[in-house]
């Protein structure tokens, strides 16, 4: 090889080495576990889109004190079997500064244990199970605990809507049952008589027997704790069965798909959630536009929650001015962030206090119905 060529190669090699190592040092890593395949893939896509939007915006604005953010994303298929090795990998191999869960309660709970043991800060975007933050002081949650949302729903149904005879239909998983428990815990306080309670599985799509029984119960309102892909059919069949009671759902319904499946039956359905589509807030509006452009469908609660969790992580990283895990954890604990789902700050347990947005389906789309902001009612657990 000629001398010039050798010099050229060496120079190129050195340059490459320098730039790649410089690039490596220039990056702050945020880990994400999210369901990209499996039954929860649709929600996973929303969550990830929300997170990506926050990261892209931050990177366009000087990143984390000059360093770009790198998202390391793994598919947990909404299963603890996968989320645990993923958490181990993110914490020990990829050495992320902070991790976000864009997944459901079960996998998040399992992963939380790993992150807590490895002392890596972990933020749960929308998983509701109470035990998640009880894993330890490195775990935070930017959405409602199930009980809080359940309680808010009880106030909504009993006091705000004035419905006293209520039937509860419960999705049989940790999410659905925790919500129902929250509702039941304060139902009496708002004058609600729970006439009957039914349970169904996440795989059920045919609710004939339940519809018939509810017709017989003749309640004023039905509180349902299912996800959109199960409950849309339930709501349809309830209306087809001539059940005229007010249907109250929760953030599991939040999204375009619910209306797409339930069609006319969705009209008038009210839910407790975290995203206000009719918000006048410029930030929220900008988010919704950006989300639709990126994902191809309208923003939903899951996407908004992902976005919020990412914003918290970014704000904390900026404030901490380092990627040392303890410093980041402390920064998260002290953070005050304005997000599309509300103003975020944490209590000692890592739980957040924010208002509950109540949305209603009107003319085939989600719109604002009201806001619940009772601080005592919405007080998150502190231990």
Write the DSSP assignment of 230-278 as a string of letters: HHHHHHHHHHHTT--SEEEE-GGG-SHHHHHHHGGGGTT-EEEES--TT
Q: Does 242 bind another protein (CB under 8 A)?
A: yes
Neighbours of 236 (CB within 10 A): 18
Contacting range for another protein; rule: CB under 8 A; set: 120-128, 207-215, 308-316, 345-353: 207-215
Interface of this chain with another protein, residues 276 to 335, rule: CB under 8 A: none
Task: Please pick, from the candidates 59, 68, 173, 323, the single residue that binds another protein as defined by CB under 8 A.
Answer: 173
Spatial separation of the C-alpha atoms in residues 295 and 104, rounded to whole Å: 20
Query: Binding pattern to another protein, positions 51-80, x when CB under 8 A?
Result: -----------------------xx-xxxx
> With contacts defined by CB under 8 A, how many residues of the chain interact with another protein?
65
Phi and psi angles of residue 203, each rounded to the nearest 5 degrees, phi first: -95, -10
Q: Does 174 bind another protein (CB under 8 A)?
A: yes
Task: Please pick, from the candidates 4, 25, 216, 383, the single residue that binds another protein as defined by CB under 8 A.
Answer: 216
Write the DSSP assignment of 20-53 as a string of letters: HHHHHHTEEEEEEEE--SSTTHHHHHHHHHHHHH
Contacting range for another protein; rule: CB under 8 A; set: 51-59, 61-69, 231-239, 369-377: 231-239
- What torsion do the CA atoms of 279, 285, 287, 291 make, to the nearest 10 degrees? 100
Helix (H) or strand (E) holding 85: helix 80-88
Beta-carbon contacts of 26 under 8 Å, excluding residues fewer than 6 positions away, are 66, 67, 68
- In the block, tokens 């918290």 appear at 312
Q: Does 49 bind another protein (CB under 8 A)?
A: no
* Cα 123 to Cα 31, 98, 126, 221, 307, distances in angstroms: 10, 8, 9, 35, 12
Q: Does 185 bind another protein (CB under 8 A)?
A: no
Tokens of 166: 């209520």
Task: Please pick, from the candidates 236, 250, 273, 341, the single residue that binds another protein as defined by CB under 8 A.
Answer: 236
Task: Please pick, from the candidates 119, 189, 244, 263, the single residue that binds another protein as defined by CB under 8 A.
Answer: 263
Task: Please pick, from the candidates 89, 292, 318, 362, the single residue that binds another protein as defined by CB under 8 A.
Answer: 89
Closer of 200 and 287 to another protein (Cβ): 200
Interface of this chain with another protein, residues 29 to 48, rule: CB under 8 A: 36-39, 41-42, 45
Residue 76's region, left for phi above 0, alpha for psi from -120 to 50, else beta, is alpha
Nearest approach, Cβ of residue 108 and another protein (Å):
10
Residues interacting with another protein, by CB under 8 A? 36-39, 41-42, 45, 74-75, 77-82, 84-86, 88-89, 91-93, 106, 109-110, 113-114, 118, 129, 131, 172-174, 176-178, 198-201, 203-206, 208-213, 215-216, 229, 232-233, 236, 240-242, 257, 260-263
């Amino acid at each position: 090889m000629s001398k010039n060529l050798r010099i050229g190669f060496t120079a190129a090699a050195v340059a490459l080495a320098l730039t790649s190592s410089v690039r490596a040092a220039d990056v702050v890593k945020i880990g994400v576990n999210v369901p990209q395949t499996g039954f929860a893939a649709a929600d996973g896509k929303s969550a990830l889109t929300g997170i990506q939007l926050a990261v892209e915006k931050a990177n366009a604005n000087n990143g984390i004190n000059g360093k770009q953010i790198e998202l390391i994303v793994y598919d947990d298929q909404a299963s603890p079997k996968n989320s645990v090795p993923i958490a181990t990998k993110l914490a020990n191999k990829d050495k992320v500064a902070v991790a976000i869960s864009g997944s459901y309660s079960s996998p998040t709970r399992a992963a939380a244990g790993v992150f807590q043991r490895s002392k890596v800060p972990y933020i749960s975007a929308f998983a509701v199970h109470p035990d998640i933050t009880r894993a330890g002081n490195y775990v935070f949650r930017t959405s409602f605990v199930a009980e809080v949302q359940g309680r808010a729903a009880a106030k909504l149904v009993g006091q705000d809507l004035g419905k006293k005879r209520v039937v509860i239909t419960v999705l049989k998983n940790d999410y659905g049952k925790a919500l129902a428990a929250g509702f039941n815990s304060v139902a009496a306080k708002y004058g609600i008589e729970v006439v009957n309670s039914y349970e169904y599985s996440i795989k059920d799509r045919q609710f004939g027997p339940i519809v018939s029984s509810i017709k017989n119960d003749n309640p004023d309102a039905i509180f349902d704790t299912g996800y959109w892909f199960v409950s849309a059919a339930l709501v349809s069949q309830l209306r087809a069965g001539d059940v005229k009671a007010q249907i109250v759902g929760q953030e599991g319904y939040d999204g375009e798909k619910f209306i797409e499946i339930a069609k006319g039956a969705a009209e008038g359905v009210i839910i407790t959630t975290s995203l206000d589509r009719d918000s006048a807030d410029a930030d929220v509006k900008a988010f919704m536009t950006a989300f639709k452009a990126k994902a191809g469908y309208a923003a939903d609660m899951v996407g908004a929650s992902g976005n919020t969790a990412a914003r918290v992580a970014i704000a904390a990283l900026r404030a901490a001015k380092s990627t040392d895990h303890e410093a980041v954890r402390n920064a998260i604990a002290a953070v005050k962030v304005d997000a599309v789902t509300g103003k975020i700050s944490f209590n000692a347990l890592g739980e957040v206090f924010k208002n509950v947005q109540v949305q209603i389906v009107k003319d085939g789309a989600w719109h604002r119905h009201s806001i619940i902001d009772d601080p005592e009612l919405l007080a998150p657990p502190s231990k």
